[in-house]
Amino acid sequence: MHVRHAKAATVAAVLALSFATAASAAVLWDQSDWNTITEGSVNLSSTSCSPTSGNTKAHTACDVHFSGPVHITTVRIYETLGNVQTATQAYLWIAPKTGSLPTTVSTDLEQASLSKPITSVVVNNGAAQAVQVTAANLSIDLPAGDYWVSLTPRHSLGLFPYTVHLITSSAVVGDPTPTVVACTSNTNWAYNLSPNKPDYAIKIEGDMVVPTLKSSWSKVKSIYR
């Protein structure tokens, strides 16, 4: 093979390797240990708010931490069986965490651009059952840091027993999960289950970004020396 062509082939191989190792599949945050005894609170966005039907727009938000840059592909939450299984869309809101409670205006969580397709499947923990609600095929890149993540299914409240977002069985990590009601524009984030103030069940998957491109580029340059 001609030397120039050999060098070009080597460069291509090095670049291919650098892209192939630029990320690794991972569970980025895991608080999926949903409680089989104690439930949680309503987490849904109905078409409208009504004191007669009980329909509301209540968003739970979990705090998460990423030690390095991440590429999010999937967000899952865990809820009780019920009307959530009829939902096909949910609002996915992710924002930097700057304090123990979010300060974002409630109606900002209801923007059409935040609506994502979801799927639901029943999962078991012994005799207990829950609904795993999944927003998949995401492509969200975030730098290292602390964030609020809220996945709120869009459906009506329905009949009792209502679908609720399940709490975790383990201790709180970071700060407890707050809720905001978006029937009006407000920043009244609060804890629904005081005084316990638990975390709510969530799991985030994707890729942990590995910065290999720079070192690979150095190898490429050395080939031409």
Same structural domain, 40 and 52: yes
- My answer on whether 217 and 177 are in the same domain is no
Domain range enclosing 127: 24-209
Cα separation, 11 vs 219, in Å, equals 9
Q: Are residues 154 and 223 in the same domain?
A: no
- For residues 190 and 218, state if they share a domain: no
- Strand segments, DSSP code E, in the chain are 23-31, 44-45, 57-60, 62-66, 70-79, 89-96, 115-117, 119-125, 128-135, 140-142, 145-153, 179-181, 202-209
The whole-chain average pLDDT of the chain stands at 87
Do 2 and 48 lie in one domain? The reply is no
pLDDT bin (cut points 50, 70, 90) of residue 142 is very high
Helix (H, G, I), strand (E, B) or coil at 7: helix
Residue with tokens 């799991």: 203
pLDDT over 90 (residue 184): yes
Q: Which is more confidently placed, 214 or 88?
A: 88
225 shares a domain with 118: no
Per-residue pLDDT tens digits for 28-72: 999 999 999 999 999 999 999 999 999 999 999 999 999 999 999
User: Taking 50 as the threshold, does the pLDDT of residue 224 lie above it?
Assistant: no
Q: What angle, 0 to 180 degrees and rounded to 10, lies between the N-to-C axes of helices 3-20 and 213-223?
A: 170
- Per-residue confidence band for 194, with pLDDT thresholds at 50, 70 and 90: confident
Count of structural domains within the chain: 2
Regarding whether 127 and 36 lie in a shared domain, the answer is: yes
Clarify whether residues 5 and 61 are in a common domain. no
Residues 173 and 193 in one domain: yes
How many other CB atoms are there within 10 angstroms of residue 62's CB atom? 26
205 and 102 in one domain?
yes
Sorted by sequence, the CB contacts under 8 Å of residue 162 that are 6+ apart come out as 42, 54, 80, 82, 83
Say what the pTM is: 0.84
My answer on whether 71 and 94 are in the same domain is yes
**8 and 61 share one domain:** no
